[in-house]
Amino acid sequence: MKIRFQILTLFLLCFLLGNGCNKQKLPADLPRLYPCKITIKDKEGNPMPTVIVSVNPEDKGNRWGASGETNASGVAEIFTASLYRRLSSGKYRVTLTRLEHTKTGRFDDTGTEIVESKNLIPDEYVHSAQTPLLFEMGTKAVTETFHLEK
C-alpha cells in the first residue's frame, strides 16, 4: 500500500511539473490567437507542397507576423512568430515562397559547394505590396484556400 501511494505521488508530481508548472509564458502584447490553415493550389487545382506561406498583417499596429509550410495536401498550419500555432484576427496579405536548390559544381574558399536558389512561385505572389492573396481572420477558426492563376 505504501509503495502504491509513493508511485501515485511521484506520477502526480511528474504530471504537474510537466504540464502545469512548466508552461511557456506568452508575451504580454500577444493578441488572442485563433486556428488558421491555408491551402495553396496551382492553376489546375493541384495541391502545392513545400510552399512557405507568410501571412503579413495589413494593420501596421499588428507586429505579429505568421507563417507555415504546406504539406503534401497543400495545407499550411499557420504559426504566429513561428512559435504559437494560431493567428490573431485582422486583415492579411499572403505571400508565397517555394525554393528550388541547385548545386553548381563550384566551390567557395572553404570548400563548400555553392548552391543557387530559385523561387518557383510567380513574382506577383512573392511581394506583400503586390500579392492578390488577401484574407480576413475573424474570431473563429479559418481554413482559407487560394488557387494560383499563374
pTM for this one? Answer: 0.76
- Report residue 63 as a C-alpha cell: 507586429
Model pLDDT for residues 13-48, shown as the tens digit of each residue: 444 444 444 456 778 878 899 999 999 999 999 999
pLDDT of residue 8: 46
Model pLDDT for residues 78-103, shown as the tens digit of each residue: 999 888 889 999 999 999 999 999 99
Query: Which residue type does 114 have?
Result: I
Q: Sign (positive/negative) of CA torsion 96, 102, 50, 41?
A: positive
State whether residue 6 is helix, strand or coil: helix
pLDDT of residue 146: 96
> Long-range CB contacts (< 8 A, 24+ apart) of 16-21?
none
Q: What would be the CATH architecture of the domain defined by 33-147? A: Sandwich (2.60)
